[in-house]
Amino acid sequence: MVAFTEAERDAVYKAIWARRDIRRFRDEPIPDDVLHRIIEAAHRAPSVGFSQPWDFVVVGDDETKAAIGSVAERAIAAAREGYTEPRRAEFSRLKLEGIRESPVNVCVTCDPTRGAPHVLGRSSMKRTDLYSTCLAVQNLWLAARAEGVGVGWVSVLYPYEVQEILGIPPHVKPVAYLCLGYPDGGFPDEPILQNVGWRDRLEVDPLIHEERWNSDRAAETTRENAD
């Protein structure tokens, strides 16, 4: 393969740095060719044993999105009860999903039986199928950012209900429910949760351990995160 030019290298880092979780979308469809490129990029992700355990359920039907949206509303309401004030009020102000507003939803799933019973590299680490699927999600997210398409990961859901609504086989597990669309207001300079003061980005240096785990450094990072 030809080496990356400096501009191409910089573009990769730009997509990583500029990727954001998007919750508000314009009422504008994603062209079919753009969506296909994004999903093809996800399919090019690395996977342990070249197992490629992912599938992509593309949802555009308003009734289906409304059904998933109702699941999210109940899950978010339940999650809210886990906080005390003033954190509960802060949580209530967060927009945690854009299921109905986004033109396309994509549910990324993991099939642990693909390539079974002997998947190279999974004999001692069984969950590498899930890890591989998350790499596909990351690829999708970065490709979408390069296309100017926003992505929002809706994690506050009940996966078994999503599975039933989308007709996903029992042995296949929903991993990520993603909202895709052109962002309303553009891409923010910083992550939304950082902008609203929910959490700050950790400094990278305390997270780097040379040769062995540095307990003092890890404890310091944990304390800072709790403050």
Mean pLDDT of the chain: 93
Residue 215: band (very low, low, confident or very high) from pLDDT cuts 50, 70, 90: confident
pLDDT at 97: 95
pLDDT at 119 (0 to 100): 86
Whole-model pTM: value is: 0.92
Rg (CA), the chain: 19
Where are the extended beta strands (E) located within the chain? 54-59, 104-110, 150-153, 173-181
Return the residue matching tokens 């680490």. 125
Amino acid identity of residue 50, one-letter, is: F
Residue found by looking up tokens 């304390």 in the block: 223
What confidence tens digit (pLDDT) does each residue in 6-52 have? 999 999 999 999 999 999 999 999 999 999 999 999 999 999 999 99
pLDDT at 80 exceeding the cut of 80: yes
If one counts every other C-beta atom within 10 angstroms of the C-beta of residue 73, the result is 14
The confidence score (pLDDT) of residue 226 equals 57
The number of beta carbons lying within 10 Å of the beta carbon of residue 222 is 10
**Mean pLDDT value of segment 65-75:** 98
**Rounded distance, CA 171 to CA 83, Å?**
33
In tens, the pLDDT along 201-212 reads 999 999 999 999
What residue ranges do the domains of the chain occupy?
15-189, 197-227
Q: Which amino acid is at 139?
A: N
Residue 227 has pLDDT above 90, yes or no: no
| CATH, range 15-189 | 3.40.109.10
**pLDDT over 90 at 217, yes or no:** no
Q: For the residues 154-170, what does the mean pLDDT come to?
A: 97
Q: Which residues of 98-113 are buried (b: 16+ CB within 10 A; e: fewer)?
A: bbebbbbbbbbbbbbe
More confident residue, 51 or 126: 51
Q: Which of 108, 94, 91 is nearest to 24 (CA)?
A: 94
pLDDT in tens, 180-195: 999 999 999 999 999 9
By the 10 Å C-beta count (0-12 exposed, 13-18 middle, 19+ buried), 129 is classed as buried
SS3 (DSSP) at 25: strand
